[in-house]
Amino acid sequence: MTNGRNDKFFKVSELTLGRLVFLFVQAVIACIIPFVAVFAPAFISIGFLLYGRQRSFSVGLIVLVALGALGVRFNLMGQVAMIYTLALIFGWAISEGVTKRWSPSRIVIQNGGFFVVLIAFGVFAFEMLSSTSIVTYVENYTTTLFSELLEKNRAVLESQGEQGLLMIDQLSAPKETAREVLRWSPLYLFATVFITFWASMFIVLKNALVWKTVHIYPYLSKDLANFKVPYNAVWVLIVGLVLGVAGSYQEYFGEMFTTAAWDNISLVGFTLLGGLGVFYFFQGFGVYIALLNRMRVFGFFRNMLVLMTVYMAWQVLAVVGVFDTWINFRKFLNKKNDEGDIK
């Protein structure tokens, strides 16, 4: 065994080029579907782990060029190409962490933090070097997009009653929508990057039997499920909560700040809450997995429950994660007989 590779079980003949292409095609399909795109790096990462950097980057770049060519004709494929580019980079980063035998939590936190800073720096550089500001660019893009949507769908929306008219009002005010999106964009960026790394890492670990014939990796998906936020993060949570609700009670503070300043203070507070809430969600998810283990819920039904809970009750999981800081639910839920990896 060398370089983390398990030569005893590694069979080159089984790793055909067609299977590698299929993995990257799956990643492209994931990039097209909303919310499923967070899993796209997992397919790419498995490709890197099985086929190595050279072959995977070669196929990945060929797919990217193909998407770029399609993007010239179809706007949707141009957007998919941008998402796919990030998925390709994220997938490679995950595979590098696995190859170096980093813990799953380290892969998520270190890579997530690095790419958040890198993307933020890129946005700052664009703002400094470009003749068009980020605000103007987003407003122009939103105005064009909303105008096209309104022109094509006005008749349909008008036939849908009050909800349709409300949608028309929103599409008729693209600049206000763009400004609101920009206000919350730091939180969106932070949450999207970390959730993408976390979700993809889970998929990679759940498919460990596929690539552990190639790489020695001492961690399982339950190691990622056991993620725990440091206790001292509670103080950041308290600060975020205080700042977040302060704007709603500004009348009690007199004219200490302007209304715009209070809005910005609340924005900072809720951004802190949302960013920290991502990690408490990871912790709450681990508690939920321990509960399912305790109830002996496995197989397809378990997978459906997990998906439904994540998409419909993620806020509840985040709250559970917060209370787990003091209560330690898993101490009561973990069974004496170890169920092993997450099913």
What pairs with residue 215 in β-bridges?
5
DSSP secondary structure string for all residues of 149-218: HHHHHHHHHHTTHHHHHHHHHHHT-HHHHHHHHHHHHHHHHHHHHHHHHHHHHHHHHHTHHHHTTTB---
Residues in the chain: 343
Note the pLDDT of residue 11: 52
Note the pLDDT of residue 336: 46
User: What SS3 class is residue 109?
Assistant: helix
Q: How does pLDDT run across 273-327, given as a tens digit for each residue?
A: 999 999 999 999 999 998 988 888 888 888 888 888 888 889 999 999 999 999 8
Residue 335 pLDDT exceeds 70: no
Q: What percent of the chain has pLDDT over 70?
A: 90
Note the pLDDT of residue 156: 76
Predicted TM-score (pTM) of the model is: 0.85
Q: Each residue of 175-213: b (16+ CB within 10 Å) or e?
A: eebbeeeeeeebbebbbbbbbbbbbbbbbbbbbbeebeb
Amino acid of residue 8: K
Q: For the chain, which residues make up each domain, given as ranges?
A: 220-343
Handedness of CA 69, 22, 109, 230 (dihedral sign): positive
* Dist. CA 91–CA 44, nearest whole Å: 5
Contact predicate 59/47, CB 8 Å? yes
What radius of gyration, in Å, describes the C-alpha atoms of the chain?
A: 23
Q: How does pLDDT run across 125-174, given as a tens digit for each residue?
A: 888 887 777 888 888 888 887 787 777 777 777 777 777 777 777 778 77
* Dist. CA 281–CA 316, nearest whole Å: 8
User: What SS3 class is residue 2?
Assistant: strand
